[in-house]
Structures are given as structure tokens and as C-alpha cells.
Amino acid sequence: MTARILIVEDEPDVRSVIRRALGHHGFETKESGNVRQAVELLAAYRPELVLVDHRLPDGTAFEVIDALAAAEIECPIIVMTAFGSIDLAVEAMRRGAENFVTKPIDLEALSMLVERALDGSRRRRREAAIQATTARNAGSLDPFTGTSAAIREVRRLAEAVVASEAPVLITGETGTGKGILARWLHEQGPRTAQPFVDLNCSGLSRELAESELFGHQRGSFTSATSNKPGLVEIAHRGTLFLDEIGDLDATVQPKLLKILEEQTYRKVGDVKPRRVDLRLVAATHRNLGAMTVSGEFRSDLLFRINTITFRLPALRDRAEDIPELARRVLAASSPAHSLDASALAALCAHDWPGNIRELRNVLERAVLLSRSNVIGAELLHFDQTAGTASRRPSEPEGLRSETLEDVERQHIMSVLKAAEGHVERAAARLGVPRSSLYAKLKRFGIHHV
């Protein structure tokens, strides 16, 4: 990918020579002749590397370095000077410069220095992203596990579009593996060396959604005691995954649309637009088309995010994949354990309202309860109140008058009441993330303390 470089140099001829040399190597550049112009460019241009002359008409390179820190722009800085000294070089490094070069500048050497600095910056960003997500990724499944026609179609589409930069929308019931597919698209795509940043939009107020996505400036509201980078900024050059985008507040949706259309955004409390380059992958279990008709979701935003649409099948619609999925889950979490024939039969007979996420929970619970390495059907405890009853071979299939949603709503209300209205405590008892429970409360119209 082409990198953006800001050249801060008061001599127009020198700027021009550097610009042409870097342009020959494929870099995009902007130029400034003084500190004031450089500072004005920072927020909008978001440089990935800065080349700055030490002595400028209205200040020094150190003021540009300080302005980069204030704008929360982390990028390599190379200081240029015709008055080199060891003390100046040491001070430049202490202030945050990556390198220090003296004039007259060897243009070929400078281009190599820029390449190395950018490679190092990208490597550090990649390592930071990996460290931040390693624990969360542990035990992740292959999104195409199985041989069913439905999952083969998902694989076919994924392999066809993996190199694309277009926005992606992933639809499907809760627990079908939308996040797993989103991460696969990132890791196999052209942005794999850059961050993968995710946010679940369920239960987020307008204020919290804005602050999380776009960040805020110090003093923009009462509790904003410091500048905060948003996830959009952190995802620069990488992928932003918005799970349950259908729950994103209506007032925040146009700001997301602006990013997709103009590649710019504003922090909360800031007036300067900032540039960003990212790929958006969104997911939802809701019918966004119907939501545009009711006015809950912007139709123009839907048109932008559904350039490529995946529809993940429910687990009950790909029952032939359940044995292999179960084996993969066990292999990732507890490789010493296996399933006997009765357990496999019970798994295949269950309706799986919670899909793959529920399958993982059932197997992890069975491992904890097991006293040997072989898991039988007696150790598989399905949540009878969270969905239709498991139809084990030894049990007659009964009929119930309640719908699945009726049963689920009653159970959530019961658990929430027992938790005295505390959502976090209720979520822990239900064994689901707090954000998922908030989404259920909103869906079922359940009020809480």
C-alpha cells in the first residue's frame, strides 16, 4: 500500500527534489514550509511518516514532533539538518525521532531509510494487534468446517472476494460464526499485516458508540479528562469489524457513512476532520432491509455496507456438519477428550437455537463434568429453556404451545429478577456476554434497573 509522507522543509527546491525522489518509489507526499502549516495538515492528512527539517522559519522540528504527539499520531519521524551535531541527534531521538540525517541528502539512501522506517512501523502495529487479540482468538474455528452445501457456498463466495477491499455484510442468527468469518477475511486479505479491530454495537448508547468509534478530545464532556483514540483510528490501514451493526444508534449511522464515502471522520469535541483508510466488515442477525422501511436503519448506509453479503446458515440447517464441528471444538479446547456414539447422536438431534456458540458451551461444560476422556450423551446438558428441547434418541419428542421466543423471554425475565435487575450478574448466570443480553432485552422489550 502507498504510504503518506509529510515533508516539512522551508526550501522549495529541496522539498521538490525530495518529493520527486519519494514519488519515484511510489510514496504519496504533501509539503509544508513551516511549523504552522505542518500542524494544520496533521489531523486531515494523517501522515504515516514525517520528514522534517530541524530549523524552520517559525520554529524547529521539535515543535512538529510535539504536535504529532498532541494529535495522537504515531508514525516514524526523520529529522533533517544542515547543522548536525551529536547533541542535536541525541535530543531528536529522545523527543521521538526515529532517525536523523544531515544535508546534503543522499536521495537513494533517504528512500531506503524511509522504507525501513515504514516497515518497522507496520511490524510494530501488527505485533501490537496480534498481542491484543491472541487470547480472544484462542480456539477459533475454521469458518468453513463441514461438508454441507450451505457451508460450501459460503467458502466459494469467501474465496472469490477475499482480495477485495469492498465493504462486507455478514448476516445470520446469533452464534453462527459471523465474527470468525470476519477475522478470516481480514487475515487472508490484503490488510492482514494491519490491525483487526472489532466492536459489538449491541446495547451501546449514542454517546458511548461515538466515543468508542471516533474517540474524543479532552474536555468534550464531563468525564473526558484526556484525549482518547477511537477504534476507527486504531483500525487505520486495517479492518474495522462492527458486530450487530443493526443496533447502532441512528444518529451515529451518518458518521459511519461519511467514513465509507469520504474516508474522513471527526473525534467527539473536535472540529478538524481526520483521514482514515480502513475496510469495514459488518455483521447482524437482524433484517436490515425491513429496518430501512421502518426508519430504524439508513438505506444509504445499507447500500454502502452490503456490496458483498454473506448469509451464514443456522446450525440446524447444516446438521451433517455437527460431528466435525464438535470434534474441532474439542480438539481446540480439550484435545484429550472424544465423543462416543451416543453423544454424537444427541448433538445431531438438538435444535441448536444458539448455533455454534451454544455447541461450544455444551461441550466445554461436558468436559468439566467428565471423569474420563470419553464423553457420553449423559454429560451433554442442553439449556431446555433457551430453545426447543433436545430431541435425544431415548426421549420422545414433545409438543409445546409456547414459541421459542416466548420461552427465551420468560427465562431471561426470571434470571434478571433473581439478579435483582443487574444485567451483568444476570449475564453471568446465563453464560452469555453482557452485550448479548442487552441485545435480548432490547429485542424483547424487557426493562431493567
Q: Are residues 412 and 370 in the same domain?
A: no
Q: Are residues 157 and 263 in the same domain?
A: yes
More reliable by pLDDT, 434 or 239: 239
Q: What confidence tens digit (pLDDT) does each residue in 18-55 have?
A: 999 999 888 999 999 999 999 988 878 889 899 999 99
Listed in sequence order, the DSSP H helices in 52-177 are 61-70, 86-95, 107-137, 149-161
**Given this model, what pLDDT does residue 401 score?**
42
Q: Name the band, by pLDDT with cuts 50, 70 and 90, for residue 395.
A: very low
Provide, rounded to the nearest whole percent, the portion of the chain with pLDDT above 90.
54
Q: Are residues 271 and 183 in the same domain?
A: yes
Nine-digit cell at 264? 474522513
Cell 529522545: give the residue: 94
Number of domains, the chain: 4
Backbone φ and ψ for 228, nearest 5 degrees, come out as -130, 125
Q: Is the pLDDT of residue 108 over 80?
A: yes
Q: Name the band, by pLDDT with cuts 50, 70 and 90, for residue 139.
A: very low
**Given this model, what pLDDT does residue 283 score?**
97
Last residue of a domain, one of 311, 330, 362: 311
**Given this model, what pLDDT does residue 397 score?**
37
Cell 516514524: give the residue: 76
Flag the least confident range among 65-69, 180-184, 422-426, 427-431.
427-431
Cα separation, 23 vs 16, in Å, equals: 10
75 CB-contact burial (10 Å; exposed 0-12 / middle 13-18 / buried 19+): buried
More reliable by pLDDT, 260 or 447: 260
Backbone φ and ψ for 220, nearest 5 degrees, come out as -70, -20
**Given this model, what pLDDT does residue 327 score?**
94
CATH number, position 434: 1.10.10.60
Structural domain range at position 439: 404-444
Q: To the nearest whole number, what is the mean pLDDT of the chain?
A: 85
- Could you tell me if residue 68 is inside a domain? yes
- Could you tell me if residue 391 is inside a domain? no
Q: Are residues 285 and 161 in the same domain?
A: yes
Q: Are residues 186 and 91 in the same domain?
A: no
Last residue of a domain, one of 311, 331, 349: 311
**Given this model, what pLDDT does residue 119 score?**
83
CA atoms within 13 A of residue 102's CA, in its CB half-sphere: 7
Q: Are residues 341 and 306 in the same domain?
A: no
State whether residue 198 is helix, strand or coil. strand
Q: What is the pTM of this model?
A: 0.63
Q: Is the pLDDT of residue 317 over 90?
A: yes
Q: Are residues 304 and 327 in the same domain?
A: no
**Given this model, what pLDDT does residue 400 score?**
40
Q: Are residues 266 and 200 in the same domain?
A: yes
**Given this model, what pLDDT does residue 390 score?**
39
Q: Are residues 286 and 223 in the same domain?
A: yes
